[in-house]
Amino acid sequence: MDTIIEQITGDEIHNRNIMEEASRILQNGGLVAFPTETVYGLGGNALDSNASTKIYAAKGRPSDNPLIVHIADIKSLEDIVEDVPESARKLAGAFWPGPLTMIMKKKACVPKETTGGLDTVAVRMPSHPVAARLIMTSGIYIAAPSANISGRPSPTRARHVIEDLNGRIDMIIADDTVDIGLESTIVDLSEGVPTILRPGCITLKMLEDVLGKVEIDKAAAAGASAADNIVARAPGMKYRHYAPKAQLTIVEGEPEHVINTVNRLVSEKLAEGFKVGVMTTDENISSYLNGEIKSLGTRSDEETIARNLFDVLRYFDGYGADYIYSEGFEDSGVGQAVMNRLIKAAGHRIIRV
Ligand code: TXA
Ligand code: MG
């Protein structure tokens, strides 16, 4: 399949033409990758079971892993959700449009193909202008998982989407203004106490400030290990995810101990003839001696670390790293979302020194 790749520019008419072309593709059951404020999405008509089936095929994604439905105004909730809960209205008021996904009981018009066979549907109203305009111009509720091949790091730059999906979908809208770099926070409002199934940049504290008590699903908490035998409530969280090709290990502890340990491990692997990457921060970068060393940004700026994480993981894929050693991060605020992704990428391989 030939994939149309269009770059958003400063030119209004050019951009409007792109939106109209993308809308036609969506209306005809095709697939379009587009930027959102979190990561790129791979969009299709959420109410068309064939379009959802195509999304799974293009990503190589297991079909029991449900998609997020993207809407452009709060009224649309009534079309796809059964009995919109009060908690959803409060959270929408506080955080939509933005990087928050809510899970609620679905209406019959949402096909099971879109929800991976579940009776609930995940809904998000993105704030990115291209995403919002695409939903409005097409008049379609857009089902969109992250626009990566299943199991690869989520795409935060247009070139990541092109790497993974060129030739597999109808169109890619390139616009490198994906700002957050980690997927949305997912909160389950379908039963009992609101529960975070996937941490993101809308933090536990921010949700609690609006709703009062909010829980975090054990499988989503950074410390949860595969060995704990916890069944994730978000089906997607059970798959090995965000995986770089290299074996990634997180090294945690006092900075001095971390640096010494990483330097030793890197030397050992280099001596055995492997290619080795180090993921660090501006504060520590000058202390590492060998290997391919990449900073995620300043430790005090969690937003920048979040924005760079997937790009650096993909960089190491391109570099051909066999092993990557990464520093750990604070398990609170946005750091909690960073650690959640990092631990998954590492397959829970953590050394505490
Ligand atoms: O920021 C984001 O959320 C991005 C952009 C494109 O909006 N999308 C995204 O989609 O990250 P995806 O498909 O990569 O992740 C969706 C996650 C999966 O872990 C899936 O299992 C979970 O949401 N999910 C979707 N519907 C669900 C449901 N009804 N119940 C429980 N989990 C659900
Ligand atoms: Mg994904």
Mean pLDDT of 310-338: 95
Concatenate the DSSP letters of all residues of 235-263 into one string. GGGGS--S--SSEEEEEESSHHHHHHHHH
Residue among 38, 56, 68 to mutate when testing ligand 1 (max atoms within 8 A of CB): 68
Q: Is the pLDDT of residue 309 over 90?
A: yes
Of the candidates 334, 316, 314, 333, the one whose C-alpha atom is nearest the C-alpha of residue 325 is: 316
Position of tokens 């609930």? 120
Atom of ligand 1 nearest to the CA of 147: 6
The mean pLDDT value of the chain amounts to: 94
The percent of residues above 90 in pLDDT, for the chain, comes to 89
275 pLDDT band, cuts 50/70/90, is very high
Helix (H), strand (E) at residue 93? helix 86-95
Helix (H), strand (E) at residue 269? helix 255-271
How far apart are the CA of 214 and the centre of ligand 2, in A? 23
Residue nearest to atom 32 of ligand 1 (CA): 234
How far apart are the CA of 66 and the centre of ligand 1, in A? 7
Phi-psi region of 181 (alpha: psi -120 to 50; beta: other; left: phi over 0): left
* Residue type (1 letter), 199: P
Residue among 120, 146, 152, 217 to mutate when testing ligand 1 (max atoms within 8 A of CB): 146
pLDDT single digits (tens) 61-100? 998 999 999 999 999 999 999 999 999 999 999 999 999 9
Residue nearest to atom 31 of ligand 1 (CA): 234
DSSP E strand stretches across 62-141: 68-70, 100-105, 120-124
Q: What is the C-alpha to C-alpha distance for residues 154 and 150, in angstroms, rounded to an integer? A: 9
How far apart are the CA of 283 and the centre of ligand 2, in A? 30
* Other beta carbons less than 10 A from residue 223's beta carbon: 12
Residue nearest to atom 22 of ligand 1 (CA): 234
